[in-house]
Structure 1
Amino acid sequence: MMMMEWKWLRFIRMAVMLLVLEGCRWCTTDACLEHERIALLHLKPFFNYQNQLQSWVEVKGSDCCKWERVECNTTTRRLIQLSLNSSRWFYTTDNRNLNAWYLNTSMFLPFEELKSLYLSGNAISGNLENEGFGKLSSTLSNLEILDLSENYLNDSILLSLSELSSLRYLNLSSNKFEGSGHLRGLNNLSNLKYLDLSWNRIESISNKGLNNLSNLKYLDLSFNNIESISNQGFQWLSRLTKLETLRLSGNSLKNSILLHMRNLSSLKTLSLSYNQLGGKLLHIQELNHLANLKYLDLSGNKIESISNKDGGRKLELTHLEELNLAGNHFNTSVFVSLNKLSNLKSLSIWDNGLKGSIDMKDLEAFINLRKQDMSYNELKDLVIHQDSNVSSSLEEIYLDYSTLNTNILQSIGVFASLKTLSLYHCGLIGPLPNQGWCDLKNLEVLDVSNNALEGMLPRCFSNLTSLRVLDVSRDHFQIPLSFAPFANLSNLKALLINENKMVMESSFYTSIPKFQLEVIRLPKCIASQQLSRKFPTFLYYQYDLRYVDLSHNNLSGTVPTWLLENNTKLEDLILKGNSFTGPLSLSSALISDVSSIDISENKLQGQIPTGICSTFPHLRELFLSKNALKVISHFV
């Protein structure tokens, strides 16, 4: 009997617990807090350009955590992120700001757990009087990210921002800070790790401008009018010992800037592109103190050489992985001054004064080099050695706009790891050789377009089984209609053959290609009347095309609707300038991805079908001009 009573008591206890839990479930809510929902609705009129905030509805109980541009804490259901970027239209003409306005920051006070606030691109000129960002400091103590970029803010906002001591990230780029930027208002933001002041009109920064930002890791001052940082040099910058990224591109800094870099020992990225560095960089050894530097950009200056006064000390950055020297005045001797950069993986030296030949032995120190861009120079040859150290690691070579001998293709096969070879507009002439380049089994991208290469593609072409992108546009190749030379390239995705010549094979070829293309560009390739009714055979076996250009090929017959029906992911179809006849019939099946169709300059007749928009619901462009088509009055 006692046992039975104990079991009943246990059952009653469990039932009560379940009822309590169920009651608690009904007591809590997954919706946002009502006062925060109302506060968002008060914000809506100021940030609702083109009805971007249509999900913000005035329905009591509506869960604002599910509204667009809003993010909530999953536990407390309090707002933690508000993304109102580019949500208010603005227009600039000359120096006049139309629709510029002043923000009342008090509207954000109800969001006490807000961590991230994005307000870029809203034509904000400042704050209403006594309604600056300082009012948020005591209530929004969790605010860490503030994006005010692409507005009309000036120095007057800085004092207000100085009270937001919790900030970790502050973006003030593309505003109207100008002149001698003391920036003292930012000096109180001691927790700041990211600061972007790029694309303003700052001319200089005083010693007391940013010197207290000891936790700063990222600083962007690029594209201002800075000629100097202060009369005392970089003294304030030397205190930013945790700085990892410094961007100073697009200013007016001189060679002496290098003298003030030695204390930035934590720096990993340094960009000094498009300044007024020039001639010999006599103080280049100062950069050798940046032991952790991985990325250095000196492009777009007028530098002629890298050396100190006696020409002996070299750049010795053993951790440097990427070096950009493009758009300067270097000559081929530059490689010797860089031979201590043993960990270099990417070297860009395009658009310089490199002339004549480059002996690849000069690059042997770069045993880890993966990418080399020497385009837009006056190079005539690469002297390539079979036992070169560079040949085992190099994956990308760019030599566009050189004047090379076609023989380079015979020796380039030693670069066994090569994945990208770009020889665009290099003056290559004659047929492709039967050896060398065909040994590049790892090649994925090959561009030999805009040259004068001719003849049939050699049989060894089928060895390039890793090839994904091939561009032979504007050469003089003879391409068989079956595309037999490409049939075994199972990884091929993009084939660009503009303005070459399609020819019939001497023997009938019926093999099904192993590739499934996504892009085919084949304009101005079929001139012969004999071929005008024949589509390239391989097209009948393609089912994954996204972009097709068969324009100006004198193709005749009816419009090839099978291209649309076979390739359900097709987005762009260009059949302009052919000789298609008959009524316009595109497809009866729904093809949702198509956005552009061009069948202009053909010989189509009859009426334009009324169901085009339902067949292609995402169609943005339809070109039908220069046909003999009739427009129906109710065509939409």
Structure 2
Amino acid sequence: MAATERYALLKFLSRIKGAKVLRDLQNLRELRLGYNQFCGTLPPTLANMTSLQHIDLSHNFFEGTISKHLFRGLVSLQYLDLSYNYLHGKFPLHSFANMSKLEGIILSNNTRLEVHINTWSSIQQLQLRILMLSSCKLDENAIRTPMFLCSRHHLEVLDLSYNNLTGNIPTCLLNNNTKMEYLNLGNNLLTGPIHLPSHHIESMNAIDISMNQLGGSIPCNISMVFPNLKALNFSSNHLIESIPSSLVNMTKLVVLDLSDNHLTGEVPAHLMSSYFVSIYLDGNMLSGTLPNNISRDIRLLDVHDNNLDGSIPQSLCNLVSLTILDLSYNNYSGSLPLCFPPSIIYLNLSNNALTGKVPSVLFNLSQLEALDISKNYLDGNMLSGTIPNNIPGELSLLDVHDNNLDGSIPETILKASFLTFLSLRGNHFHGQIPQSLCNLTWLLLLDLSYNNFSGSLPLCFPPSIIYLNLANNALTGKVPTNKLTGKIPPEVGNLSGLKSLNLSYNQLTGPIPAALSNLSQIESLDISNNRLSGGIPWQLDQLKFLEVFSIAQNNLSGCIPSFRDQFATFGKATYEGNVGLHGPPLDGTCTTSSNTTTSSEEEDKEAQIINLILKSNH
């Protein structure tokens, strides 16, 4: 490239929006500006760069329409990528009619761009190898049984996902394009059975026809047609019958996703002994046991929401590469294995029929980030005193709800500094709630409800928390069915991220704190069935996202403020049971000011309970 052209290109990069300098780059052959932050419309001076062979402006912020004249003079162009921008308007593909050398068109993920293919015949002379129009608005003629594809004979990469295509997958597509490498027709409305050609397509690496309405069975000749396939995604369709044993012969396959179909029968005995890295069989009706001969190379195994039974294989311990294991929502029984792969990050064994003790080995998994063993029949107090002090430092989710566990909350759990989700709900835990909960600075959800906790609440909770459920325990002291008394602390208003607050069915007294108006994200607020008194703070009108609100069955009095927005949608049930309240939507009228205020002297400044969602489930 000459010095003058280098200077012009640098000048262009410095002010891409105007891009008048492009006229000086008439000998430029490749323009690669993808993955930047360029904005504005596509430079019209691109039309003057007649030597261009390769244009990549993908993953930027270009907007506006694509002029149908922009590329007509670029007769040498072979590859065009405008994907992942904000282009819009109508764009007919016949704009490329004069570009006989064009082999690749990529316009994907311009979600407001309407690509018109009804003039497809005008570009049939193009020897397209790559056509990617994902998330474009194809014209109505194209989305109905996309027969326009039958005229292609050289396609290697085809992506028409997210386009509402209907009808059957044209059999001519694979019959004519024998060198196809990548096919993505996912997230459409395609129907009918899956028909495969009778010949081999050895070049095919990946197929995705997920999220459609395809039916029938998985073709038994799939391993013969695609002997070198590496990734297969048939998920979220209506496929039936059993998984063909011929999949075992696909020795190059590393990712298999057959999830969310209606597949039945057992998992083929040798299916998982192949070289798979990821297997998704969840959301089917598979039965029987999990094979013992699972490949040591597997990293992800998801078979949740099936009818698998028996005991969890001890051989799982040998899967040294396994990082994600989900066996939830099955019929597994017996005790938990005494060994798990040390590499595991996510482990979900919930909603089975597992019994026995929780082995301490679970808490020796140093890489573990999420553990869900909820809704089983696990018992004992292995969660008290026997959990090693070296609880996984990366643990962010611990869910053991609805078991028969008991004991107190071990301090070791409270040392997991990255914990964001902790649910001990529906067990027999007892003792006091530790003060050290306050140290879990990342905690978003804490559910200790339906246990036997007693004593007073901690003096503080993590400021990050957005859901706290302590209902149905035996908690006492100042401040649903607990025995909380006293006033609602104004410090609750500091929880700006709180989305739900339920203090109903307690014995709370005093006024409604005006500080509740600071809960800017609150969606549900229930302080009904207490002994609250005074007026309703008019400042509550600032809660713009409130969908559920109840202050019924208290001792409130005065006028109901003239609320707007969300509050205007709440009816009588919100306020009833307060004999001193007047005004719409209750019966009676008000003549006093609607701006009822609450004196700060009346608010209890000693209590510092934060982020309470103490739902009583009444």
Q: TM-score, normalised by structure 1?
A: 0.64
SS of residue in 1 equivalent to 2:133: strand
Residues 521 and 490 from structure 1, CA distance in 2 versus in 1: closer, same or farther, beyond 3 angstroms?
closer
Identify the match of residue 313 of structure 2 among 342, 359, 363. 359
Identify the match of residue 109 of structure 1 among 68, 75, 79. 68
Distance in 1 of aligned mates of 2:489 and 2:175: 65
Q: For 1:259-298, what aligned pairs fall within 5 Å after superposition?
A: 259-260=222-223, 263=226, 265=228, 267-271=230-234, 274-276=237-239, 278-279=241-242, 281-290=244-253, 293-297=254-258
Q: Is the 8 A contact 2:96 2:123 kept in 1?
A: no
Residues 447 and 296 from structure 1, CA distance in 2 versus in 1: closer, same or farther, beyond 3 angstroms?
same
Q: For 1:42-441, what aligned pairs fall within 5 Å after superposition?
A: 71-73=40-42, 76=45, 108-109=67-68, 112=71, 116=82, 133-134=93-94, 137-138=97-98, 144-145=106-107, 159=121, 168-171=131-134, 182-185=147-150, 187=152, 190=155, 193-196=158-161, 200-207=165-172, 211-212=176-177, 214=179, 217-220=182-185, 224-230=190-196, 232-233=197-198, 235=200, 238=201, 241=203, 243-247=205-209, 250-260=213-223, 263=226, 265=228, 267-271=230-234, 274-276=237-239, 278-279=241-242, 281-290=244-253, 293-297=254-258, 300-307=261-268, 315-318=272-275, 320-330=276-286, 333-337=289-293, 339=294, 341-360=295-314, 362-385=315-338, 388=339, 390-405=340-355, 407-408=357-358, 410=360, 412-428=362-378, 433-437=383-387, 440-441=391-392
> How far does the alpha carbon of each residue in 1:308-329 deviate from its partner, in whole angstroms, 9 at most, with x for none?
xxx6x655543x3221122445
- Once the two structures are TM-superposed, the CA of residue 246 in structure 1 deviates from its matched residue by 2.8
- Once the two structures are TM-superposed, the CA of residue 445 in structure 1 deviates from its matched residue by 0.5
Distance in 2 of aligned mates of 1:273 and 1:549: 37
Distance in 2 of aligned mates of 1:530 and 1:183: 70
Q: Is the 8 A contact 1:304 1:331 kept in 2?
A: yes
Q: Is the 8 A contact 1:134 1:164 kept in 2?
A: no
Distance in 2 of aligned mates of 1:528 and 1:29: 64
SS of residue in 1 equivalent to 2:363: helix
**Does residue 486 of structure 1 match 2:437?**
yes
User: Match for residue 546 of structure 1?
Assistant: 498
Any stretches of 5+ residues in structure 1 without a counterpart? 1-23, 34-68, 85-104
Residues 190 and 574 from structure 1, CA distance in 2 versus in 1: closer, same or farther, beyond 3 angstroms?
same
- What's the C-alpha RMSD, in Å, of the aligned pairs? 5.3
Q: Is the 8 A contact 2:198 2:225 kept in 1?
A: no
- Once the two structures are TM-superposed, the CA of residue 336 in structure 1 deviates from its matched residue by 2.0
Distance in 2 of aligned mates of 1:216 and 1:248: 17
User: Match for residue 90 of structure 1?
Assistant: none
Distance in 2 of aligned mates of 1:369 and 1:621: 51
> How far does the alpha carbon of each residue in 1:458-489 deviate from its partner, in whole angstroms, 9 at most, with x for none?
45543444322112345565575x75362443
SS of residue in 2 equivalent to 1:363: helix
Q: Which amino acid aligns with 1:447?
A: D
User: Match for residue 511 of structure 2?
Assistant: 558
Distance in 2 of aligned mates of 1:219 and 1:502: 54
> How far does the alpha carbon of each residue in 1:494-528 deviate from its partner, in whole angstroms, 9 at most, with x for none?
223455566434xxx87655x32231233744767
Distance in 1 of aligned mates of 2:289 and 2:245: 16
Any stretches of 5+ residues in structure 2 without a counterpart? 1-10, 21-37, 48-56, 73-79, 585-589, 596-618
Between Structure 1 and Structure 2, the one with more helix by share is: 1
**Does residue 598 of structure 1 match 2:537?**
no
Distance in 2 of aligned mates of 1:148 and 1:210: 30
Residues 349 and 215 from structure 1, CA distance in 2 versus in 1: closer, same or farther, beyond 3 angstroms?
closer
Residues 275 and 153 from structure 1, CA distance in 2 versus in 1: closer, same or farther, beyond 3 angstroms?
farther
- Identical positions, percent: 13
Q: Aligned pair count?
A: 520
Q: Which amino acid aligns with 2:440?
A: L
Q: Is the 8 A contact 1:258 1:286 kept in 2?
A: no
> How far does the alpha carbon of each residue in 1:23-65 deviate from its partner, in whole angstroms, 9 at most, with x for none?
x99xx996699xxxxxxxxxxxxxxxxxxxxxxxxxxxxxxxx
- Once the two structures are TM-superposed, the CA of residue 373 in structure 1 deviates from its matched residue by 0.8
- Once the two structures are TM-superposed, the CA of residue 346 in structure 1 deviates from its matched residue by 1.3
> How far does the alpha carbon of each residue in 1:335-364 deviate from its partner, in whole angstroms, 9 at most, with x for none?
324x2x22211111112333242232x213
Q: Which amino acid aligns with 1:267?
A: K
Higher relative CO (CA 8 A, sep ≥ 6), structure 1 or 2?
A: 2
- Once the two structures are TM-superposed, the CA of residue 563 in structure 1 deviates from its matched residue by 5.0
